[in-house]
Amino acid sequence: MDRNSMATLLFTPIELRGVTASNRVVISPMCQYSAVDGLPNQWHYQHISALAAGGAGIVIMEASAVQQQGRITYGDLGIWSDAHGDALVPYVELMRSNGVVPAIQIGHAGRKASMQRPWHGNGPLDGSDAARNELPWDIVAPSALPTGDEFLVPQALTVEQIKQLVVDFGAAAARCDRVGFDLIEIHGAHGYLLHTFLSPLSNQREDRYGGSLENRMRFVLEVVEAVRHNWPEHKPLFFRVSGVDGAENGWDLDDSVVLAGELKSRGVDVIDCSSGGIAAASSPVAKGLPRGPGFQVPIASKIRRETGVMTQAVGMITDAAQAEEILQAGDADLISIAREALHNPFWPRHAAQQLGVDKDFEQWPEQAGWWLQRRAMAMAKIS
């Protein structure tokens, strides 16, 4: 196929309510585990600068906790106070000045809170972390069931606490709007709080928040309603789901289709289709899906086809042609990359070249593009 003569979908702008992304590459949220007291610092500025300059249409800032105790680690970003919101203003400006839709993921870690940073062990905080003054804190979940044998046992949330969480998600959304974000993604995946309400493996409540699928979805839908209520009509709302637990008697793809329909009717615009995370990686309970290129695309495809909601594909998408094919096949509306963007923050710009959309570096910032164009001409003469 002659890519040079073809209009691509990957680099066709997409309208999401009143917001237009210049292309369909989304940088997936990536916790940096480097915040102090939930606040960003120079590392975050460096990280987001690189991603914002990389050419994606949308960059989603890392999972930011709506409550202090909802952080995965001591290094997570927070959005639980106005001061935390204010600290993100420079990031919004950075993204916007690069032509990127400024986006943020909001969430609560639930029973996967009070963890070590990945490079400190990636397990629950224990005595070995005391030297860094990082003591474990009390964690919460729908039921008093730990993520795995070696994990902290969470306290089952009271209905009053559930109502407070709903309020706090809504307050976080209002803050994100006030500081200028144009897109929110709610983190409903990877074994964190919202996901644990959905999955029958982690939710064994006997009240109206547990039991039937309808009851297990209730908290998530209340959160979505609270967020949508405080989030302007013209701004898009994404929801990241673990499409399957990948475990016997767990949350499955048919459940996700039902949930997606409910989310759509409550004003969610895009379902970001991830998977897994309900149990510890070492646990035999939930192995998750076998990994391979685009291994979660079938989730995005089924949800999109069966509900008509827009979907975002994520997971082991590393090549421009692969990304374009996913869109052309009608499996997803947006392509999200994470680790590939750490490996090469300019991935979207290289993808545009690979697909023949940007032949002469004309879409690069002129400070780089001017030089790269001339270098390419010089190299062509040599070869």
Ligand X SMILES: Cc1cc2nc3c(=O)[nH]c(=O)nc-3n(C[C@H](O)[C@H](O)[C@H](O)COP(=O)(O)O)c2cc1C
Cβ proximity to ligand X: between 95 and 317 the closer is 317
Of 27-35, 224-232, 250-258, 323-331, the segment contacting ligand X by CB under 6 A is 27-35
CB of 132 to ligand X, least distance (A): 20
Binding ligand X by CB under 6 A: which of 10, 14, 16, 31? Answer: 31
Q: Residues near 363 by Cβ (< 8 Å), separated by ≥ 6? A: 55, 349, 352, 357, 369
Dist. CA 113–CA 220, nearest whole Å: 18
Task: Single out the residue of 273, 338, 351, 352 in contact with ligand X (rule: CB under 6 A).
Answer: 338
Nearest partner of 223 among 207, 203, 240, judged by Cα: 240
- Residue 56 to residue 49: CA distance in whole angstroms: 12
Residue 28 as a binder of ligand X (CB under 6 A): the answer is yes
**Smaller CB separation from ligand X, 227 or 361:** 227
CA angle at 145 for the pair 139 and 147, rounded to the nearest 5°: 75
Q: Point out which span in 9-17, 25-33, 124-132, 350-358 binds ligand X (CB under 6 A).
A: 25-33
Q: How far apart are CA 291 and CA 319, in angstroms?
A: 16
Considering only residues 274-333, where is the footprint of ligand X by CB under 6 A? Answer: 274, 314-317
213 vs 316, which CB is nearer to ligand X?
A: 316
Other beta carbons within 10 angstroms of residue 347's beta carbon come to 25
Q: In the chain, where does DSSP find H-type helix?
A: 42-53, 82-86, 89-97, 159-178, 193-198, 213-229, 253-265, 297-307, 320-328, 339-343, 347-354, 366-382
By three-state DSSP, how is residue 202 classified?
A: coil
Q: Least separation, in Å, of the C-beta of 190 and ligand X?
A: 6
Catalytic site residues?
192
**CA-wise closest residue to 326 among 308, 344, 314:** 314
The answer to whether residue 339 forms part of the interface with ligand X (CB under 6 A) is yes
Q: How far is the CB of 72 from ligand X (least distance, A)?
A: 8
Q: Which is nearer to ligand X, 108 or 175 (CB)?
A: 108
Pick the binder of ligand X from 25, 29, 40, 241 (CB under 6 A): 29
Q: What is the DSSP string of 291-305?
A: P-TTTTHHHHHHHHH
- Which residues, including other chains, have CB under 8 Å from residue 143's CB and lie 6 or more apart? 154, 156, 202, 203, 204, 205, 210
Q: Which of residues 52-111 bind ligand X (CB under 6 A)?
A: 62-63, 105
Options 9, 10, 16, 30; binder of ligand X; rule CB under 6 A: 30
Binding-residue pattern over the window 217 to 246 for ligand X, x denoting contact by CB under 6 A:
-----------------------x------
Among 11-19, 184-192, 251-259, 360-368, which window interacts with ligand X (CB under 6 A)? 184-192
* Residues at the site binding ligand X, with contacts judged by CB under 6 A: 28-31, 62-63, 105, 187, 189-190, 240, 274, 314-317, 337-340
